[in-house]
Structure 1
Amino acid sequence: MDIGLLKVFQAAAEEGSISKAAQRLNYVQSNVTARIQQLEQELKTPLFYRHSRGITLTSAGQTLMEYTLKIFNLLEEAAQAVLDSPVPKGSITIGSDTTAAVRLPAILSAYRGCYPDVEVHLQIGRNNDLIDAVLQYTVNGAFVDGPVEHPEIIQELVINEKLGLIVPDTIDYQGLQSVHDKTLLILNANCIYRTRLEEWLGDEGCRLGKVMEFGTMEGLLGCVKAGIGYAVLPVSYFNRMNVTEGIRCYPFPERYAEVPTVFIRRRDLYITSAFREFIEELKMRLPEAVCGADIPAAEPG
């Protein structure tokens, strides 16, 4: 199977359009169409559904896409293995949700001080998007809400965070009853923070009120300060923000407080010396973290 055909197939699948894939690859549209047809003929199965809105993968196409990602990752891994050396260099990409990202500046600064030849990229996103990025090899590892149960993912570190209610000063907080009918402000409507809150509410005979979802932490906290509602965040995140005006943090009861943040990577990811040393830096800078699976040794360059 020709690698060139797979590159065209991947572009078409990701763009959902023959014309957009052609623009991305700088090909004429008929060339993209012909190459996809060639691949379908070779595999003796249709890879795309064609419709008025563009193209979508068939089940066979979805299977091929999974293998295509693995093939291109193996090619990249082969290049990394050849070029890797005991002295970290090159680049790594780390994913993080917004709350975990507050821990990273000190870690990244220390790491760059030790390994200035490594270029570190940080990708901030939501939980599911970061897990997908790990699975698709677009980030080396990511901090996400855990646990993550997936056969192709390893959890390297687990940090047990404690949740708190983030409440505006305008609310006379006297316990959960003070906020149960207020609007919950949240970054991800389906996150584990909401689940823990609903468990607490249910045991107290209360129900969750309205939920307002935000795209940024700045917008969320600004609306909490404005008295629009309340939020649920790790206490450690609130403490690192060093907020002294407008909002207060009240810890959850111990029974509902603990949520894990995990650092994940693909099980089959090649561990370069740069990424290995980054994980070691995490272990040193996050003493409260519980180590997960052992990291396989990198081959010397």
Structure 2
Amino acid sequence: MDIRRFRIFQKAAEQQSFTKAAQSLYMTQPAVSKAIRELEEELQTPLFERFPKKAILTPEGQLFLKKVNALLTHYDDVLQHVAKIHSQYTLRIGSSITIANDFLTTILKDLKKAYPSLSMQVEIASSSAILDKLVQQQLDIAFVEGMIDQDAFICLPFSTYHIKAVAHPEVLQKQSITSLSDIAKFPLLLREEGSAIRDVVESCFLLYDIPLHPAWTSTNSTALLKAATKGFGITFLPEKMVTKKLKNHTLEEVQLAELQLMNRNHIVYLKHKHVNDAMHTLIKLANTIPHK
């Protein structure tokens, strides 16, 4: 037995005709007759009295119709509730701090417009912490920066940004900078370990065997920006975050050929993860972010 045969039986009983049932269901009359016959064989009882232009339910057919009507009503109700579930469940979204500061709220606002009933749970932390949450299946999808384990995740790059080394002009006047080693001698204001920006900066210096010893460490880029403008040392922040202060000369960029720092933003989820409609939409929205 299957739902398809039940619907055919229901329509034939309603129309009292296999031909009219076939027309209503956009089927051929032989296909309707075959489905009814298979149902009768499975039940081992006749359901219809067949006449030249009419098909009338047998007593057994009448009893069976009551059960089928109740079953199909319940089945259709279940389908309606399943449709609502797609828009009512909670989508667990992670984001690295830099992406959250930049454009996460814009993307999530657009997602909410597309799915007004969607519940979202958002967690913002370092890229490494967010990736750990994904592995533990505590998040469904995430926005992260930097290098990602391609074996564990589906990684979809959607934008890039440059990282600038900046400091107050007076700080840079104290000592000339001609190499990365010179930078390492300054007080350094760095993001916390595990952040994508910190990883990019340290990787650049480690290529030249130069360890970094931060004077300040923070999960908050804005705090580092303020510290740099007050003359506490050199910091490394996204270009967009420092552009205005570079223009008004509150900060000055440290420019070296070796200091070409760039990060790539990805939207990430576990391999074999079911990607539902809301996640597909989130991925499309991420790709509306301009590439820098």
TM-score under structure 1 normalisation?
Answer: 0.56
Partner of 2:89: 90
Q: Deviations over 1:155-207 (max 9, x none)?
A: 02243321111312432466555743112212223555445445655778976
Classify the secondary structure of the residue corresponding to 2:269: strand
Following superposition, the deviation at residue 245 of structure 1 comes to 7.1
Aligned: 1:229 with 2:233: yes
| Secondary structure, counterpart of 1:103 in structure 2 | helix
Deviation at 1:147, TM superposition (A): 2.2
State the aligned residue count. Answer: 207
Deviation at 1:124, TM superposition (A): 0.8
In structure 2, give the amino acid aligned to 1:235: E
In the alignment, the residues of structure 1 paired with residue 214 and residue 112 of structure 2 have an alpha-carbon distance, to the nearest angstrom, of 43
Greater length-normalized contact order (CA 8 Å, ≥ 6 residues apart): 1
Structure 1 residues 146 and 208: alpha-carbon distance in aligned structure 2, compared to 1, 3 A threshold: closer
- d(CA) in 2 for partners of 1:252 and 1:189? 24
Matched, 1:184 2:188: yes
1:286 aligned residue: 289
Partner of 2:12: none
RMSD between aligned residues: 3.5
SS in 2 for 1:170: helix
Report if aligned partners of 1:142, 1:265 keep a CA contact under 8 Å in 2.
yes
In structure 2, relative to structure 1, the CA distance for the partners of 1:108 and 1:240 (3 Å cut) is: farther
- What are the within-5 Å matches in structure 2 for residues 207-246 of structure 1? 208-239=212-243, 246=250
* Mapping of residues 42-191 of structure 1, within 5 Å: 83=82, 88-101=87-100, 102-172=102-172, 175=177, 179-189=183-193, 191=195
Separation of aligned partners in 1, 2:246 and 2:111: 24
- Following superposition, the deviation at residue 234 of structure 1 comes to 2.1
Cα pair 2:184 2:210 within 8 Å, conserved: yes
In structure 1, the residue matched to 2:35 is none
Shift of 1:265: 0.6
| Letter paired with 1:136 | Q
Which runs of 5 or more residues in structure 1 are unaligned? 1-81, 290-301
TM-fit CA distance, 1:226: 2.2
Deviation sequence 1:22-43 (CA, Å, 0-9, x none): xxxxxxxxxxxxxxxxxxxxxx
> Quick one: distance in 1 between partners of 2:255 and 2:96?
21
Q: Structure 2: 5+ residue runs without aligned partners?
A: 1-80
Query: Residues 162 and 257 of structure 1 are in contact (CA less than 8 Å); yes or no, is this contact kept in structure 2?
Result: yes
Q: Give the aligned partner of residue 20 of structure 1.
A: none
CA displacement, residues 211-230 of structure 1 (integer Å, 9 cap, x when unaligned): 43213233322322222222
State whether residues 155 and 262 of structure 1, in contact with CA within 8 Å, keep that contact through their aligned partners in structure 2: yes
Distance in structure 2 (CA, Å) of the matches to 1:103 and 1:210: 28
Give the Cα–Cα distance (whole angstroms) in 1 for the partners of residues 109 and 233 of structure 2: 35
Structure label with greater radius of gyration: 2
